[in-house]
Structure 1
Amino acid sequence: MSFNRNYTLLRIIAFLQGFVFYGPIATIYRQSRVISIYDIFLIESIFMVLTILFEVPWGIFDDRYGYKITLVISLFMNFISKIVFYRTYSFQMFLLERVILAVSVSGVSGCDVALLYSSVGKSDYEKAYGRYYALSVVGFLIATSLSWHIASVSMELTAYLTIYPYGIAAAAAFFIKEPRVSKGNASNTIETLKMAFANKRILMFLFSMALINESTHAITTFLNQIQYQRSGIYIKYYGIILVLVELPTLLSSKPISYLKDMGKKSL
């Protein structure tokens, strides 16, 4: 695959957004800011609902104004959420951080892969997506590997250092080139939603995937750290354990290249 500006920028953004240095101590960090595990899950529930609700207006915005401006705004909001996270000491502010993040996540959702598809073309998309996803995991693994060194100095430092890669990622979005594809309109998004809601199998699939993702996220991000504490595991080992847990996800980028040989089962 020859040099492609958008593809290169998307990979850089994915790599940088993997640098969540506070990931291995996310629960411990929040509890140190005087919020309980109940508060954490309440905020996460609100976050999940808002992320779903914001998908529709973002889809309409994306159709009308294009991929670049959508990603610029969304990634900037993500950057802001990391600043708020670092400065937060209350339930209300942690909730605000998650609301901002919900706006960002729903904006990026679908827009990034649509831009990737439009930029690399159908023939190279599967391989490009595999590498794009893999780089986000690589970034996270690097940050996780370093986190225990940083956390040994200060837990606050893990949140502070996370701000910078997200700021660079947001800046990188300004250099994205809008692909030459015809823009849709609000009716396209609405019609797509009608088709999706009319197909019960698609709805069941989406609900199942959301449930699996949120359950996995809750276990590997929040509940596991509480169990580590109960087991007497030192905080410096949390990052090492998380690296071992996340390493297999790198393998998920490889099977994408075999999809054509295996065939695809449609819904």
Structure 2
Amino acid sequence: MGGVLVPFFLEWGKISFTQLMILQSWFMLWTFILEVPTGTIADYLGRKQSIILSVFVNIIAVLVYASMPNFYIFLLGEFLWAMSAALMSGADEAFVYDTLKKIDETKQSKKIFGKLESFRLAGIMFGAPIGSVIATHFGLRAPMLLFVIPLGIAFLISLTLKEPKTKQKTESKRYISILKEGFKFFYKNKVLKILTTDFVVINAIAYFMIWLYQPMLKQAGVGLKYFGIVHAFFVLSQILIMNNYRRLEKLFGSKKRMVFLSALITGIMFVVGGLTTWVPAVLWVIIVGGGFGMARRPLFVSYMNKYIPSSKRATVLSSVSMARRFVSIILNPIIGFMVDWSLNYTLIILGAIAIIFSFISRVKESHLID
């Protein structure tokens, strides 16, 4: 759906860009509300069960979304999609990290999390151009309906997963106790809060490239049939960056500089995107700026995991996701109105914020443990 996401909403769904961003805030609101409760379910009942439920609910969400072009139906679909996302958030990463811990390979977590995200993005990268072709020949609704097929396969695969046993016995604890302990641990960990702040601010800005790159392409005169290809390269850049963290750290001189420059580059690209409609420059902004901004997530997840015990991992990671989504809940409608006012000024303002924050971030080299 990536290559035709905005047209799906605006043309098939017949809603405005402001309504589109309100839908995203609605989605973020419910993921915010459900994040820690579902993360606690993962800690309490098991990561595998949380993942299975996530995929099943996602299938229902897709069917609801594609049922009819109606704003209120979309609200229901977004609610279900949010439940699915919340069930998956934290549980999948905790599942992987605990598996690495069981086999004594946690030093490889940065590489493994990068590859995990790369596989997810590879699916988006190959799916975006295909979705554009399908939408061109069968309509904008068709890619959404066909999304049920890969989800069905994912559901069957999730049933075969083997969850590693951990020493803690979360099943003996009460649901509310796990919830409180996760929040308490996060609140008291200074380094975790610093890492989360850096991640949340830049990720919140980079996230808008997903929604703004298609208006940018349209403004630059790029045809709709090429949107999927651009989206594929956008995702490819993320994959390349995530699979070359170590090389980039050596190139930039340190892990701290990697964190700093990834934020700075994101900001500069947004500013450039607001100053030009020259197609080569716009493509560079989308691919490089969006790539560096969106590729930071697995890097930060790896660093954060070093400060979280297994018994609280899914809940604490869910708390981090809550912070990120809370920021998006507030920003989505604001950015929607700003884009209606001026796409170019919106890009410049977002870029300026990222640039300023890259210089005032409190992340230190000593915080970044492999």
In the alignment, is the contact (CA less than 8 A) between 2:10 and 2:16 conserved in 1? yes
Task: Deviation per CA, 1:7-66: give whole Å up to 9, x if none.
Answer: xxxxxxxxxxxxxxx211111111121211111111111211221221221122122211
Q: Which runs of 5 or more residues in structure 1 are unaligned? A: 1-21
Change (3 A) 1:248 1:27: same
In the alignment, is the contact (CA less than 8 A) between 2:37 and 2:179 conserved in 1? no
Task: Deviation per CA, 1:87-113: give whole Å up to 9, x if none.
Answer: 231111111111111111111111101
**What is the CA-CA distance between 1:142 and the residue it aligns to?**
0.7
Q: For 2:209, give the aligned amino acid.
A: I
Match of 1:140 among 110, 124, 141: 124
Specify the alignment match of 1:174 in structure 2.
159
In the alignment, is the contact (CA less than 8 A) between 2:54 and 2:84 conserved in 1? yes
3-state SS, counterpart of residue 24 of structure 1 = helix
Q: Could you tell which deviates more after superposition, 228-237 or 156-165? A: 228-237
**What is the CA-CA distance between 1:120 and the residue it aligns to?**
3.5
**What is the CA-CA distance between 1:256 and the residue it aligns to?**
4.7
**What is the CA-CA distance between 1:207 and the residue it aligns to?**
4.7
Match of 2:20 among 30, 33, 40: 40
Q: Counterparts of 1:211 and 1:236 in 2: how far apart (Å)?
A: 33
In the alignment, is the contact (CA less than 8 A) between 1:81 and 1:101 conserved in 2? yes
Q: Percent identity?
A: 25
Specify the alignment match of 2:329 in structure 1.
none
Q: Counterparts of 1:114 and 1:23 in 2: how far apart (Å)?
A: 27
- The two structures have a TM-score, normalised by structure 1, of 0.81
Specify the alignment match of 1:190 in structure 2.
180
In the alignment, is the contact (CA less than 8 A) between 1:65 and 1:183 conserved in 2? no
Alignment of 1:219-234 (within 5 A): 219-220=209-210, 222-234=211-223
Q: Which runs of 5 or more residues in structure 2 are unaligned? A: 256-364
Q: Counterparts of 1:139 and 1:202 in 2: how far apart (Å)?
A: 31
Change (3 A) 1:42 1:203: farther
Specify the alignment match of 2:196 in structure 1.
206
Task: Deviation per CA, 1:154-191: give whole Å up to 9, x if none.
Answer: 22221122121012112221111232224413323422
Match of 1:63 among 16, 26, 43: 43
Task: For CA contacts below 8 A with separation 6 or more, give which structure has more relative contact order.
Answer: 1
In the alignment, is the contact (CA less than 8 A) between 1:145 and 1:240 conserved in 2? yes
**What is the CA-CA distance between 1:76 and the residue it aligns to?**
0.9
Specify the alignment match of 1:242 in structure 2.
231
Specify the alignment match of 1:266 in structure 2.
367
- The two structures have a TM-score, normalised by structure 2, of 0.60
Task: Deviation per CA, 1:104-130: give whole Å up to 9, x if none.
Answer: 111111110111122233414443322
Q: For 1:75, give the aligned amino acid.
A: V
Q: Counterparts of 1:198 and 1:127 in 2: how far apart (Å)?
A: 28
Q: For 2:100, give the aligned amino acid.
A: V
Task: Supply the RMSD in Å over aligned alpha carbons.
Answer: 2.6
Q: Counterparts of 2:188 and 2:135 in 1: how far apart (Å)?
A: 49
Specify the alignment match of 2:294 in structure 1.
none
Specify the alignment match of 1:120 in structure 2.
100
In the alignment, is the contact (CA less than 8 A) between 2:39 and 2:89 conserved in 1? no
Change (3 A) 1:118 1:196: closer
In the alignment, is the contact (CA less than 8 A) between 1:24 and 1:144 conserved in 2? yes
Match of 2:52 among 51, 68, 72: 72
Change (3 A) 1:93 1:205: farther
Alignment of 1:49-60 (within 5 A): 49-60=29-40
Q: For 1:217, give the aligned amino acid.
A: Y
